[in-house]
A and B are shown apart, each in its own frame.
Chain A
């Protein structure tokens, strides 16, 4: 589903955020990208979203080489990849339902389809009764649920999550992880950058550890730290 082949990313000024990274992520996998701050987790997420271009190497997403994708085709790539970020990235002037439906409006879906699809996904994330509220009227956990709902409303085959629990307390984080796990069980591939060891250890999914842009470990059913029991 996602393949990185000898990917290197060097920023202006010489900072190496990714060095010769090769990864093969299968359809339906749940992959944690772990590592300390500055290890290159978020950069890999941005490279997979074509928010940044690679310095060297190739990235395939859903069978397409996105490193050579013309800029005008990037929106099409993003329509097949849901994204969740630490800071939620919700539109403050739109209600919960409008924030979620926005992702479908962009695709030009008819209103008759948008309404039921939004209701369904809000029900999935447990916010069916809060569709008319504005983001400022919700807790952090609820806002992140809206963000997950927006990412998933289009039923994308891939979801990229960059520290989705970074702003949340442990209990709320568990709720978000349960939600992502549920989405993953529908066959959606999820790649999540995190340094929340409790979540990684509890989920027991594939773990790719990064340090200074290098892949130092790639384990199926892994833990946050190597050798932890």
Chain B
């Protein structure tokens, strides 16, 4: 145990001595992981919004008035019953009827306070059937079926195309986000490896003396690994904190903005934040191992596997 504390102390002293190089490595990890974590948060925001928009009405069939233009009384209800039997429609109550008076109430709610828009004749508002689909991809088939009912249906509107576009955008951004996270994560590893290599180069005399007095390769490695670990964890924690702070501030500023949700759950931040800090730690250790491997192999000749027991 005392040996571990000795090595930890060595690592901390070295971090203090090489402050600028260490700050550079932490900054590099911070920038890479901030971008990667930011991409992940943007993805999550898109996913949440796509989900929110997927819920509710997908297709609206505006109907011709009964008793006029050859639409018999009771045609609306007949169509509603037929729509409810379609397999594309969510069961049991994926379709409902909105009559002209309900449409007027809805209109008044939407345009409350806008006197000139409210000064219309309420009877011009059509009745409609609102439909929720089993899956958003089925909107074209439903639209087609409704358009066949020309005698009753005046017009068919659907938000499905927009939702589908959003879904596509979301999946493209998802792939881009993951790709970006991987590339930036790897760049963090390379940057740490370079930093550790610089640190070793600056301390090559020290490493030589360590080998001279009988230190094993693992004994030499451990302070450098601890340095990499600390750099990775600090850089990643700063990145997670900064993105969390930015996202929560943005969510607070956009409160009341109904079209687009910007709030991401704290559970998401905790789960992914922890993963990013772990990744930072792993990147630090892997970067240090990469930085050390070449130097120690050169110092030892061809290099052989060193059992940990030799520490």
Contacts and interface: CB of A to CB of B under 8 A. Distances in A.
B255 interface: no
Interface residues of A, number: 25
Nearest to B10: A105
Contact of A72 (B3, B213, B214, B304): B304
A205 interface: no
Contact of A75 (B17, B205, B310): B310
A138 B217 CA distance: 31
Given A71-B301, A72-B217, A75-B215, A105 B209 contact: no
A15 interface: no
Interface range on chain B: under 10, 10 to 19, 20 to 34, or 35 or more? 20 to 34
Nearest to A112: B2
B301 A78 contact: no
- From DSSP, what is the main secondary structure of chain B's interface residues? helix
Contacts of B208: 89
A108 B3 contact: yes
B212 A89 contact: yes
Contacts of A93: 13, 17
A93 B3 CA distance: 19
A64 interface: no
Most chain B beta-carbon neighbours within 10 Å: one of A71, A90, A103, A107: A71
A150 B210 CA distance: 12
A220 interface: no
Contacts of B209: 89-91, 102
Contacts of A150: 213
A224 to B, nearest CB: 28
B215 A106 contact: yes
Given A72-B305, A72-B306, 6 more contacts: A72-B216, A72-B217, A75-B310, A79-B213, A89-B208, A108-B2
Interface of A: 53, 70-79, 83, 89-91, 93, 102-103, 105-108, 110-111, 150
Q: Which 8 A-B pairs have the closest CB atoms?
A: A79-B214, A78-B214, A103-B213, A75-B216, A72-B306, A106-B215, A71-B304, A75-B214
14 contacts: A53-B301, A70-B304, A72-B305, A78-B211, A78-B213, A78-B214, A79-B214, A83-B212, A89-B212, A93-B13, A102-B209, A105-B3, A106-B210, A108-B2
Interface of B: 2-3, 6, 13, 17, 205-206, 208-217, 219, 300-301, 303-307, 310
